[in-house]
Amino acid sequence: MNSLIWKIAINEWRRLWYARVPALLLLVLVALWTIAALAAHHHWQDHANTVAEVTARSQHDWQSQPDRHPHRVSHYGDFVAKPVHPLSVIEPGILDQSGHLVYLEAHRLNSANFNPATEATSLGRFPLITPAMIVQWWMPLFLIMIAYATVTADKNSGILAFMRGNGTPGWAIASGKWLALFLPLFFLLCLQTLLILACSWQSEQALLRLSILALSQVLYIAGWCLLVVAVSWFSKQLHGALLTLLLCWVCICIIFPRGLANLAQISYPTQPRTEAEYHAETKLQAIGDSHNPNDPHFAAFKESVLKKYHVSSVEDLPVNYQGILMQEGERLTTAVYREQQVLHDAQLAKQNESIRHWLWLTPALALQYIQMASAGNDLPHHQAFIRQAEDRRYKLIQYLNQVHTFKVIQRDDKNTRVSADFWKKAPRPPVHLSPMAISRSSILAGFLVLLGWIFIPGCLLFKVSHRL
Amino acid sequence: MTALLSIQQLSLRFAGRQILNQLDLNLRAGEVVSVLGSNGAGKSTLLKSILVLQDAAEQTGSILIAGIAIAQARNQALSHLAYVPEQPAVYGHLSAIENIRYFLSLGAISQSMDIATCLTMAGLPEQSWHRPCSEYSKGMKQKVMLAFALAKQAKLLLLDEPNSGLDPQATEELNQLIVQCKERGMGVLVVTHDVLSAIAFSDRLLMLTNGQLQPVALNESAITLDSLKRLYQGQV
């Protein structure tokens, strides 16, 4: 690299060190990051332990079930834990809002799926301090406090005119100042990446996820450094530079993300959980009541079953009619709940789409999208987990209903016990973390915004560095 | 003798106002020229135009420094001059020696004079050479700037209000330094309000009015407040 740029960068470090306060702020930032990393690691470890413990206990309890009636087994339930990537230490995303354990039971798709998961894309999580938040919010704020005067002070003291008048090119001064701000933060980001890599290199898509996360953070911080130098260059007064940069920070990190999330929720509202449950129940009642002998849907269903087995009454069936009825009931309730789920997911997708359209307003939100996707804690990952869990629930319950149909004697239904071997063989496929490709549209949109975020302040700085 | 600084037909418009209007100026080696003028007449702007620190789109005319057209080869041309702005431009966290070494390292300078020698010539006490410049007075900082100009071995020195804010003792020391520069064969262009100092060290005095330079003849003993007022009002 050009030695001029290095010399200017090194002098800028000496100046910041001499001024004490910037060095102190940098130290506070590092301390804050360390606290956030330790707290997030503890939180994640706690979370991972809970998941492991609950999964093991659930597995043990499931396997330990004695001979019993299959319908009791279907209501005994099964826990499924969301697979969590180690990058959740950096960015827990919507994990704390959406939850990580789902209880699977017959007849009902877990209504927790109707949580407004997009809450986590706004400022709902402001009180949390995570390493991702440090990069997204605090690092730019500290950068502004440390460096708002980087060029304005030189301009006011005549040093800029002196340097330019004695032959130092403006681009070299701008690049040197930028490098002086960027390199320490780049070093911190590299350190964070190496630490996470050491902890997570064996996890799924670790390198890919970490590379994308690190690249997005580097672009974001590089853009902020460019903006700080550019604003500092065209500001005539120190307080003008500080106020302009603080205004940019407030807009980019607070107002626009909050505003976009609110606008999306107003434009495409999701039903609250109770309302979604109410709509599902209403639809189910409209379909029919299996306990009502005069219900037209279930009367027709009964007729079709009798016809299929060529018998005239339920008592003559070679299989357990209650089991068949359970299968039909499960099919219907699942269809209704899945329909509700599709509506809910469609609204969330519209909210996300609406936010993505205006993402160029705020690189902070673009970074958050990429960070959440990298850590596997964004909406697409959550929805994929819910789909896997629901698929597992449906297969398991229908398996139990089939056991009920074929292994439970109809005339002594309530007192029949089925061998525990059936529970041990029940289909309980493991739930996997979805590949990163599931969030590709968010990642692409995020990177486009971050590239623009580099380009615009870069052009601005290039233009202003030609004048005093 | 070839002019160290040759300005021909220099015009500059700024914010819709004609600041410099087809201005001509030649300055030879070993000559000190002072430019006087009222506030806002364009004195500092003239220096910035020479250094091409103004918006080039609004500037016309030709400027040669040591025979090199600054518009064509700015860095090469600037390597022959040293510019000292009105405010002493030194970094407070660096010592005098470090400041000069740093600024020399940033310019396109083929060879430079020994910094200690230059500081001695500039009259900066040796015990202060290694102290941070934040502890210096304005006069001391001006000496550091002039020591830089000497170290750079510049042929041409541009000074913007060098005496501004200096006490009589410091002003006198600075005036002597400018004379020393002249004796070393440097060409010096000074923009100043300090008429008495300008008379003391200048070979020529020029008044900048209506964007053009007019020669003025002044005698130190004949200067009165009224004569200065008339001079600045363009009645002399």
B9 inside domain: no
pLDDT at A115: 53
Cβ(A238)–Cβ(A148) below 8 Å: yes
Residue A140: which of A351, A360, A367 has the closest Cα? A367
B83 inside domain: no
Mean predicted confidence (pLDDT) in A113-140: 68
> What is the ipTM for the molecules in this complex?
0.86
Instruction: Select the residue of B81, B84, B106 nearest A163 (Cβ to Cβ).
Output: B106
Q: Mutual orientation of helices B138-151 and B96-106 as an angle, nearest 10°?
A: 40
The pLDDT tens digits for B78-122 are 888 999 888 888 999 999 999 999 999 987 666 677 899 999 988
**For residue A155, what is the nearest residue in chain B, using CA coordinates?**
B89
B171 inside domain: no
Q: How confident is the model at residue A120 (pLDDT cuts 50, 70, 90)?
A: very low
State the sign of the Cα–Cα–Cα–Cα dihedral B178, B182, B188, B193. Answer: positive
Instruction: Select the residue of B53, B83, B102 nearest A468 (Cβ to Cβ).
Output: B53
Are β-strands B156-160 and B187-191 bridged in parallel, bridged antiparallel, or unpaired?
A: parallel
| Residue B132 contacts A where some CB pair is shorter than 8 Å | yes
Give A160→chain B minimum CA distance, Å: 8
B209 has a pLDDT exceeding 70:
yes
Chain B residues inside the 8 Å CB shell of A167: 74-75, 78-79, 106-108
Whether residues A14 and B94 touch (CB distance < 8 A) is answered with yes
pLDDT at A167: 85
Per-residue exposure over B136-162, b if at least 16 CB sit within 10 Å of its own CB, e if not: beebbbbbbbbbbbbbbbbbbbbbbbb
Q: How confident is the model at residue B174 (pLDDT cuts 50, 70, 90)?
A: confident
The pLDDT tens digits for B216-227 are 876 666 666 676
The pLDDT tens digits for A350-364 are 888 888 889 999 999
Mean predicted confidence (pLDDT) in B55-63: 78
Residue A230: which of A325, A140, A150, A138 has the closest Cα? A150
Whether residues B84 and A14 touch (CB distance < 8 A) is answered with no
Cβ(A123)–Cβ(A409) below 8 Å: no
Mean pLDDT of chain A: 86
- Which stretches of B13-78 are DSSP H helices? 43-50, 74-78
Instruction: Please give the interface size between A and B, counted as residue pairs whose CB atoms are below 8 Å apart.
Output: 74
pLDDT at A240: 96
> Which of A77-86, A111-120, A262-271, B98-107 has the weakest average pLDDT?
A111-120
Token pair recorded at residue A366: 């673009």
| Residue B85 contacts A where some CB pair is shorter than 8 Å | yes
| Residue B105 contacts A where some CB pair is shorter than 8 Å | yes
Q: How far is CA A318 from the centre of its chain?
A: 50
State the sign of the Cα–Cα–Cα–Cα dihedral B219, B222, B226, B227. Answer: negative
Provide the 3-class DSSP secondary structure of residue A118.
Answer: helix
Whether residues B94 and A167 touch (CB distance < 8 A) is answered with no
State the sign of the Cα–Cα–Cα–Cα dihedral A183, A185, A191, A193. Answer: negative
Instruction: Select the residue of A17, A18, A166 nearest B82 (Cβ to Cβ).
Output: A166
Q: How confident is the model at residue A122 (pLDDT cuts 50, 70, 90)?
A: very low
Q: How many domains is chain B partitioned into structurally?
A: 1
Between A128 and A353, the higher pLDDT residue: A353
Q: Using CB atoms within 10 A of its CB, is residue B135 exposed (0-12), middle (13-18) or buried (19+)?
A: exposed
Chain B residues inside the 8 Å CB shell of A13: none
Share of chain A above pLDDT 70, in %: 94
pLDDT at B44: 87
pLDDT at A414: 80
Whether residues B106 and A164 touch (CB distance < 8 A) is answered with no
For residues B77 and B69, give the distance between their C-alpha atoms in angstroms, rounded to a whole number: 7
B165 inside domain: no
User: How many other β-carbons are positioned within 10 Å of the β-carbon of residue B24?
Assistant: 12
A318 has a pLDDT exceeding 90:
no
Which structural domain, as residue segments, surrounds residue B130? 90-151
The pLDDT tens digits for A222-249 are 999 999 999 999 999 999 999 999 999 9
Chain A residues inside the 8 Å CB shell of B132: 18
Cβ(A7)–Cβ(B107) below 8 Å: no
B3 has a pLDDT exceeding 90:
no
Token pair recorded at residue A10: 């090194």
- For the entire predicted model, the pTM comes to 0.86
B123 inside domain: yes
Q: How confident is the model at residue B31 (pLDDT cuts 50, 70, 90)?
A: very high
B17 inside domain: no
A124 has a pLDDT exceeding 50:
no
Mean predicted confidence (pLDDT) in A23-45: 87
Mean predicted confidence (pLDDT) in A314-323: 86
pLDDT at A94: 79
For residues B203 and B188, give the distance between their C-alpha atoms in angstroms, rounded to a whole number: 10
B120 inside domain: yes
The pLDDT tens digits for A453-466 are 999 999 988 888 87
* A-interface mutation test, from B5, B68, B91, B110, most A Cβ less than 10 A away: B91
Rounded to a whole number of angstroms, the CA Rg of chain A reads 30
Q: How confident is the model at residue A117 (pLDDT cuts 50, 70, 90)?
A: very low
For residues B56 and A286, give the distance between their C-alpha atoms in angstroms, rounded to a whole number: 79
Whether residues B93 and A18 touch (CB distance < 8 A) is answered with yes
Provide the 3-class DSSP secondary structure of residue B77.
Answer: helix
pLDDT at A273: 74
B71 inside domain: no
The pLDDT tens digits for A136-179 are 999 999 999 999 999 999 999 889 988 988 888 889 999 999 99
**For residue B100, what is the nearest residue in chain A, using CA coordinates?**
A163
